[in-house]
Amino acid sequence: MEMPHARSNRRQFVKLSALAAGAVMLPSRAMAQAPAAFALPALPYAINALEPHIDARTMEIHHGKHHAAYVAGLNAALEKAPKLKGKSLEEIFAGIGSVSDESVRTALRNHGGGHWNHTFFWNTLAPAKKSGAPSPELLKAIEASFGSMGDFKKAFNETATKRFGSGWAWLISSKGKLRITSTANQDNPLMKGIVPDADLGTPLLGLDVWEHAYYLHYQNRRADYINAWWSVINWAEVSRQFAAL
């Protein structure tokens, strides 16, 4: 938006710069040094795009309230862990052990994990009509690891159903093989030194089985939510991540 007075503002800025270069430069240098805080990413589809499998109201609260709270909590925790400010989430996970304050460590684990997990979750979902299917290469790897697509689904469903309380079920790539794991709360398979080594790997799929992910629509019927989730997996994205391993 070109304001009528923009030109005179620019002229004034140039004049100020010439008069006091140091003073004018300082704020911009400080801004360049200050790491950008984490921000809530927009959903890659409309809020109601996953209906009827995942309803718009659940998505609205899950993304707009729960995920937003993890982002805010992560940014607040980073204020108390200045050495990790400006780092990627993966670097933050690796650096949690170096933070001396236990409450800050816990906040980074819970909120950092919450931000990573939900961002990953949204990106591996798609409207049912765009869900697609695993690439031939991914399907082959699933069959090699689990026997068949049906056996894979059965094993994944069992892990997701059995996760007691809040947490996630995952399909991970670990040492060249696909495996199904589960983590509690907002932990994830990237958290070396936090989750058991057996659960570590590169996530390809993650299913949020916190009650906040399904309770409004499915109430206590977690199994129905898990079955519905298979209809809205973004297989193109999962296959892309598999190909990039």
Stretch that binds Mn ion, among 81-89, 188-196, 202-210, 229-237 (CB under 5 A): 202-210
Number of residues counted as binding Mn ion (CB under 5 A): 3
Of the two residues 67 and 179, which places its CB atom closer to Mn ion in the complex? Answer: 67
Minimum distance of Mn ion from residue 99's CB (angstroms): 24
* Total residue length of the chain: 245
Can you list the pairs that 17-22 forms with residues at least 24 positions away whose Cβ atoms lie under 8 Å? none
Residue 187 interacting with Mn ion (CB under 5 A): no
Member of 210, 218, 225, 235 binding Mn ion (CB under 5 A): 210
Member of 49, 181, 188, 208 binding Mn ion (CB under 5 A): 208
DSSP reduced 3-state for 195: strand
Q: Residue 148: name the closest of 178, 120, 186 by CA.
A: 178
Stretch that binds Mn ion, among 26-34, 40-48, 146-154, 206-214 (CB under 5 A): 206-214
Minimum distance of Mn ion from residue 172's CB (angstroms): 19
Of the two residues 62 and 134, which places its CB atom closer to Mn ion in the complex? Answer: 62
DSSP reduced 3-state for 49: coil
DSSP 112-146: IHHHHHHHHHHHTB--GGG-----HHHHHHHHHHH
Residue 235 interacting with Mn ion (CB under 5 A): no
Contact 142, 180 (CB under 8 A): no
The footprint of Mn ion (CB under 5 A) covers: 208, 210, 213
